[in-house]
Amino acid sequence: MLSCPNIKRFACTFSLLFLAGNLGCKRIVDKVAAPQLPPPQTGQAEQLNPTLNISMDASLSAKEREFLKEDFRFLQGLRFDSKIEGYFVKAFSTSDGSGLMKYLDDRIGHIIGPDTTVDSRFSYTADTGSDSGKAVTIATNIGTAVWLETVAQRRNISFFTNNTAIPVNDPRVGIIKLGKAYTVFDDSGRSLNTVARTSVLIHEARHSDCTGGLTDRDVTFLATGQLPENRSCGHLHVICPSGNDYEGLPACDGKVWGAYAMGWLFANELSQKCQGCSESMLQTAMIVAMDSLSRLDKETARAMKAGVLEYPDMSSNPPKQ
């Protein structure tokens, strides 16, 4: 069983103007719930985009669906004046939105609504304490947290959606829980624009990669409530160091080309190479890029900006279950 403090260290915070969303990890109560057969009626899911295998769970509101569709249309239309040998093309394979769409499609399978509880959608019981602090959640990669639990507990956990049960046997099953801030950003009802929202999706999707796999030793660590040595599996956040704007918070990348670095790569390319983006899109992209960069260690950030860092490893090699 993973204890709450450890789980919280998986916390996935994405902050834009001090926003934070955690990875949705909650303390798992040591109570084995038998798989529910047949799965509970969860309502019919809807395909997000005809060209993708991403499904929008019945728990999503009409507004959330509308925003998600808008965000993928935005991605689909993007064109960049990218360098072939640059990081962006190396990571996403193309210099247009199609590479970003494929990246997301490979890593996000299901998107669920903000009010969906872990207990109601997974075949295990979790202590679903309230979201911590004053953080505003935009989105959370809950699938990776649950998958790590399946490794830690050496048992299968199913996710219920579209009136079926889906085994969470790979982090790329990709279950993203939207936060309320995805559609309503602040008390005055304002929304983030599509650049900010899509940056969050790019960030969250990276948590679905178990880059470099897990050793037997890592699995043992997980089983005893500790984090794996390979923090690139799930691209887990680390506590930001002293002097950082997010000092003391689990809101920084622990390894190269983590989730914040992916957010930077997207936003930075958008701010510098987008063909046909509006001024407000470019401005937002610049803010996201700066914020993302501030969550990397200084040496890595410098190397990325200078183009002398190794190319990103976009693979995922989770242990077979």
- Which residues here bind Zn ion, judged by CB under 5 A? 12, 259
Instruction: Please state, in angstroms and rounded to a whole number, the distance separating the CA atoms of residues 239 and 222.
Output: 19
Q: Which residues pair with 47 in a beta bridge?
A: 55
How far apart are CB 114 and Zn ion at their closest, in Å?
17
List the one residue out of 155, 110, 127 whose CA is nearest residue 8.
127
List the one residue out of 231, 40, 37, 234 whose CA is nearest residue 150.
234
How far apart are CB 39 and Zn ion at their closest, in Å?
28
φ, ψ of residue 145 to 5 degrees: the values are: -60, -45
CB-CB contact of 196 with 284 (8 Å): yes
Residue 12 or 173 with smaller CB distance to Zn ion: 12
Structural element, H or E, at residue 141: strand 139-141
How far apart are CB 156 and Zn ion at their closest, in Å?
25
How far apart are CB 255 and Zn ion at their closest, in Å?
13
Residue 118 or 277 with smaller CB distance to Zn ion: 118
How far apart are CB 235 and Zn ion at their closest, in Å?
7
269 contact partners, CB below 8 Å, separation of at least 6:
80, 82, 86, 88
Q: Report the Cα 68 to chain-centroid distance in Å.
A: 15
112 contact partners, CB below 8 Å, separation of at least 6:
57, 59, 60, 121, 142, 161, 175, 176, 177, 178
List the one residue out of 15, 12, 22, 9 whose CA is nearest residue 293.
15
Residue 45 or 233 with smaller CB distance to Zn ion: 233
φ, ψ of residue 206 to 5 degrees: the values are: -65, -30
How far apart are CB 174 and Zn ion at their closest, in Å?
13
Residue 160 or 177 with smaller CB distance to Zn ion: 177
Q: Where are the alpha helices (DSSP H) in 125-277?
A: 142-153, 194-206, 216-223, 259-273
Residue 138 or 165 with smaller CB distance to Zn ion: 138
How far apart are CB 196 and Zn ion at their closest, in Å?
15
Residue 14 or 160 with smaller CB distance to Zn ion: 14
Residue 11 or 281 with smaller CB distance to Zn ion: 11
Residue 11 or 78 with smaller CB distance to Zn ion: 11
Burial code (b: 16+ CB inside 10 Å, e: under 16) for 200-239 equals bbbbbbbbbbbbbebeeebeebbeeeebbebbbbbbbbbb
List the one residue out of 306, 267, 262 whose CA is nearest residue 284.
267
How far apart are CB 88 and Zn ion at their closest, in Å?
20
- Residue closest to Zn ion (Cβ): 12
